[in-house]
Structure 1
């Protein structure tokens, strides 16, 4: 398939004049019948890589997606562009399924979305045999990898696609893959002979910030009020209880927020997800059960109040911010208790030794990112095997932390742990050890006569928060470990190198000044000229009313970026409006007159 044909579809259907970097090569390769494995960041335009080939090849593009709850929205968005799309999943009644199957067999669909489990049903396989399949697209392909963070057993069966339909091209796509995950996707989906396209994972519009945890609720409230007032965001917590508590806390403080986790009934989850997609400025507080495949372009921030279990998970979750390319924030509050909790979860997990070792490797990489002194983006991209230069748009670039020689502090702390074990046959958590170092005669200290230890009061040069930072960093470096259900601290094999063999320990100092804030996100409207700003607000109001009337998310009508360009260009004819990026033939015909009327006031 030649480039001009795919470019023509891009312009006519999607309303764009040119492809993003890397897209055209992938699209032309798949449109020409080649297999592909695509690694491209969230917001990088992966969907077009299978949608356009489905439109130019003969037959129906079959998209395998784990996102049953979002298939309706994905299909609605395509239909708004004039693309004939449908889906088959367990949410439909038999009549709805029969209608979609008939459309598929009659060649009346361009794209058909299937959940992976549907391919285990003989009737689905028979249906695909009877119809004409243009290609198979395997979305969220990292779900096939047991090394990855989102493993789905149903994905393992997708290797059979190539065996049953060897002439049909396959394209597997994911936004999160280390070399190990990449290799496993290749092997499990039998894509060794496919062309592998690896784009840069960089998302330059996202500002990465990791803050020491200090009254995290207040920190979150400051982030929302001072930087993202009235804007959409996602807040991630590890436990369902935390999700409920934080959502309630935000609502009490006048912020529109809803919880989302697996413990809520399906109806409530669906309602909260629908509200997030359709309303402006709603915040969802969620466990990691929320977000995969959410195609909301104007999520302005993603906040983590608990330490993610892996860099892959962190990258994918933060990638849900700023899909429209506008400035966005990825903010994480991280503290000593996070490290203790995660180590404990790994030790108590049901997996075998290899599984626990894998989890520990994931956690070690996440801790290295949190404790980084250099650019966060360099560290993050390095994890995925990509090189980068300092970005100037993360906390460590904007306010570089300093390092200090923490060898003596580490020796004092490790000595306290050793003396408790040797002299008293006791083990304690960080709080008691820090009280001993600070010389605090608490009831617990005096009860155990810890004020009689030779290490009592030898650490008064540091404050309690500073000592907690020392403990956190020693845990991150593997010089301390957590043991048992009560999070007691014990030394490791490497501790002796610090205590007895002269190993130096460099520790990170938190900068005294806060990292320079990204410019207020209201800038997207403020950047408009005085004449364009009211036009933009009129267009947003029109879009909101139209989306509500049609029961679809606002971005299905037009993205903010398109409305901003319309407000700036002030088109006065259908031809001028059709030249705006993001206005394809179908949307021009459907909404053109209303938009021109709104622009004219």
Structure 2
């Protein structure tokens, strides 16, 4: 009888003939007065599991929801299935006193079936007093993972819900989430005192989603190129910081993409407006922090891009789950570099030890996911306690589509662990990799580590390779980074066991995520674009002949990354040349003419299709920051002070100056160099660069046998490039 009634009710209120998945059983269980726990992927129809029983029950259902925007969205949706506005309300800080009184009156009159509240509102005594005086049908907790400290959006207020519920009314509870590992699931049930709840768990597999991780290089350009291939389709781009959200939204707009920003720093009216414009398809792309998306019921989001890797695999799964909710195309693209993980680790410093431990473990899982060569779908489902046969992935992730090579790495791992032990577990990963590879850095010299017997034990491979061994050993739990001591690498018990009894360890051939330099291959729309070697050799020859003619080193004209980029972009005008990496208007005007003439002739002769639809414009405000930096240098401010005023390190400021000089603008930092280097030292380094065939700092470091630090050499290279090339 209930089944028939439920189907009739479903048709009456929502216009559907059939329930999805386990919806019908969930609703029946709740209506029978039983505690209910629902784990159902995004797009599975969680909201209906409490909306329909609320409409069928006596009294008002209290729905705890974490975001004001989410409440508004849900209330609007319910009001659409009824001819009465009073059927659903929300109580939160956005309401006036008059609006609050109206909500209370509708509940008291028995007109309101669903009341959405923020957990913070529930803690107010006036609301508790009011709710104890009315008839409550049940409590629903949406986004229940917020209860768990192991969940990806932990909210301390959620931990008090059970205590508040008990003060209001003894009615059933339904807790719902789209992501819960077995640990999170138990934590939620224990905290709500509902270990007796009937559990309804759907498969976490979203077989229509395509998962891909790309190295984080030229990221803005990659994102713009990717979105242009999705013209007219809806997408979300997630960034970790509000500042990046604003910058990227503006950059997309400048490049003709209909994008809007969304983050908690915008006022409520702007956030609501941008969300509505996205839902109404007046904007194609939302660039957002994680404040956007929870409960946003837009079925046709076709792509989700992560500009920054999230803090946990649960966050990643939740956010990618907003793609393809209608069962259609959904592409999930994330950009990854290990530097981002190190930044997230730094944010954990200063937090309680327990929170740090949890944070580190969650980060390890996301690193493991990003760097794994196994089927990404299999990896995600394993994390959520589900077994999956990767042959069913159907090439719907990058690792299945392009399998990576594996090699036996037992001996490499053993060498790494031995070195960590030899260095008494007192060094960071960078130092360890330099030591194993036999690279003499200033740190290694100062510690006299180059005199230890195992120095250079793995010099047959470079530091990038050893970085990969470190990362994979971290993921495998053989070593760990001690955050308290700023990332010093130490052995775990498993690592000590491995050192005693080495076993097979399959190393995955990885992308090098530790470097921002491009290799000879770039990825464009999932395909590898191979360097045009013929053109590259011609450009090298041209550069060499101009360098002889002008009597300056070749790298002063254009650096090799710029020449490589020319071999992908094929610029044939001076204006197009300014879109090339490391080429500004000054450098293009000074040296560009013969290069674009050569490229134009080459393109015509070989009938090459140029990717001109992929020209990416730069943001104007970036040039504003560049002007500000140059003005501060003109005022002869110490570089450290300039960095502090912009919230940047000295290294980041030097990188910006290098980029300004490489693009053709003259910068005078003599006042700063004069403070740290004597005139004869400056002359010695300047003469070196005049004669050198390359501007590679490693070569310079070797030449001077470590007499000058990397920072001193970088600053002198800036002076040389500025004086000679601009």
1:179 aligns to 2:202 (yes or no): no
Q: Name 1:405's counterpart in structure 2.
A: 408
1:15 aligns to 2:15 (yes or no): yes
The counterpart of 2:315, out of the listed 313, 316, 333, is 313
Give runs of aligned pairs for residues 460-479 of structure 1, distance below 5 A: 462=461, 466-479=465-478
SS in 2 for 1:303: strand
C-alpha contact 2:426 2:488 (8 A) present in aligned 1: no
SS in 1 for 2:5: helix
1:204 aligns to 2:204 (yes or no): no
Q: Name 1:128's counterpart in structure 2.
A: 131
Q: CA 1:118–1:491 in structure 2 vs 1: closer, same or farther (change >3 Å)?
A: closer
Q: Name 2:233's counterpart in structure 1.
A: 231
Q: Name 1:63's counterpart in structure 2.
A: 63
Question: Where does the alignment leave 5 or more consecutive residues of structure 2 unmatched?
Answer: 512-520, 528-726
Q: Name 1:44's counterpart in structure 2.
A: 44
C-alpha contact 2:426 2:490 (8 A) present in aligned 1: no
C-alpha contact 2:215 2:337 (8 A) present in aligned 1: yes
In 1, distance between residues paired with 2:184 and 2:347?
Answer: 23
In 1, distance between residues paired with 2:498 and 2:216?
Answer: 27
Q: Name 1:574's counterpart in structure 2.
A: none
Q: CA 1:201–1:153 in structure 2 vs 1: closer, same or farther (change >3 Å)?
A: same
In 1, distance between residues paired with 2:270 and 2:421?
Answer: 51
> How many angstroms does 1:176 deviate by?
1.5
Which is further off, 28-37 or 261-270?
261-270
SS in 1 for 2:237: strand
> How many angstroms does 1:201 deviate by?
1.8
Give runs of aligned pairs for residues 224-303 of structure 1, distance below 5 A: 224-226=227-229, 228-303=230-305
Q: CA 1:250–1:455 in structure 2 vs 1: closer, same or farther (change >3 Å)?
A: farther
SS in 2 for 1:50: helix
Size of the aligned set, in residue pairs, is 511
Question: Which has the greater radius of gyration?
Answer: 2
Residues 309-345 of structure 1: CA deviation (Å, up to 9, x unaligned): 2222221122122222222122222222234334444
Q: CA 1:405–1:33 in structure 2 vs 1: closer, same or farther (change >3 Å)?
A: same
In 1, distance between residues paired with 2:388 and 2:382?
Answer: 8
> How many angstroms does 1:27 deviate by?
1.1
Q: Name 1:93's counterpart in structure 2.
A: 96
Q: CA 1:418–1:127 in structure 2 vs 1: closer, same or farther (change >3 Å)?
A: closer
TM-score normalized by the length of structure 2: 0.63
In 1, distance between residues paired with 2:156 and 2:444?
Answer: 51
C-alpha contact 1:441 1:451 (8 A) present in aligned 2: yes
Residues 447-501 of structure 1: CA deviation (Å, up to 9, x unaligned): 9998888778776755665454334323333445446799666342455566665
Q: CA 1:349–1:207 in structure 2 vs 1: closer, same or farther (change >3 Å)?
A: farther
> How many angstroms does 1:426 deviate by?
8.7
Give runs of aligned pairs for residues 586-601 of structure 1, distance below 5 A: none
In 2, distance between residues paired with 1:217 and 1:489?
Answer: 32
Q: Name 2:194's counterpart in structure 1.
A: 191
In 2, distance between residues paired with 1:151 and 1:279?
Answer: 31
Q: CA 1:126–1:500 in structure 2 vs 1: closer, same or farther (change >3 Å)?
A: closer
> How many angstroms does 1:28 deviate by?
1.6
In 1, distance between residues paired with 2:115 and 2:188?
Answer: 23
In 2, distance between residues paired with 1:402 and 1:286?
Answer: 35
Q: CA 1:219–1:506 in structure 2 vs 1: closer, same or farther (change >3 Å)?
A: farther
Give runs of aligned pairs for residues 71-86 of structure 1, distance below 5 A: 71-82=71-82, 84-86=87-89
Q: CA 1:199–1:16 in structure 2 vs 1: closer, same or farther (change >3 Å)?
A: same
Give runs of aligned pairs for residues 320-359 of structure 1, distance below 5 A: 320-346=322-348, 348-352=349-353, 354-359=354-359
> How many angstroms does 1:503 deviate by?
4.3
Which is further off, 66-75 or 274-283?
274-283
C-alpha contact 2:468 2:510 (8 A) present in aligned 1: no
> How many angstroms does 1:371 deviate by?
3.1
In 2, distance between residues paired with 1:193 and 1:490?
Answer: 44
Q: Name 1:144's counterpart in structure 2.
A: 147
> How many angstroms does 1:5 deviate by?
1.3
C-alpha contact 1:31 1:54 (8 A) present in aligned 2: no
Q: CA 1:3–1:237 in structure 2 vs 1: closer, same or farther (change >3 Å)?
A: same
In 2, distance between residues paired with 1:476 and 1:151?
Answer: 24
SS in 2 for 1:340: helix
Q: CA 1:480–1:134 in structure 2 vs 1: closer, same or farther (change >3 Å)?
A: closer
C-alpha contact 1:261 1:287 (8 A) present in aligned 2: yes
In 2, distance between residues paired with 1:484 and 1:195?
Answer: 40
Q: CA 1:215–1:488 in structure 2 vs 1: closer, same or farther (change >3 Å)?
A: farther
Q: CA 1:115–1:509 in structure 2 vs 1: closer, same or farther (change >3 Å)?
A: same
> How many angstroms does 1:48 deviate by?
0.6
> How many angstroms does 1:49 deviate by?
0.6
Question: Where does the alignment leave 5 or more consecutive residues of structure 1 unmatched?
Answer: 519-601
Residues 119-142 of structure 1: CA deviation (Å, up to 9, x unaligned): 223332343344333322221122
C-alpha contact 2:420 2:491 (8 A) present in aligned 1: no
Which is further off, 213-222 or 96-105?
213-222
Q: CA 1:339–1:161 in structure 2 vs 1: closer, same or farther (change >3 Å)?
A: closer
Give runs of aligned pairs for residues 157-172 of structure 1, distance below 5 A: 157-160=160-163, 163-164=166-167, 168-172=171-175
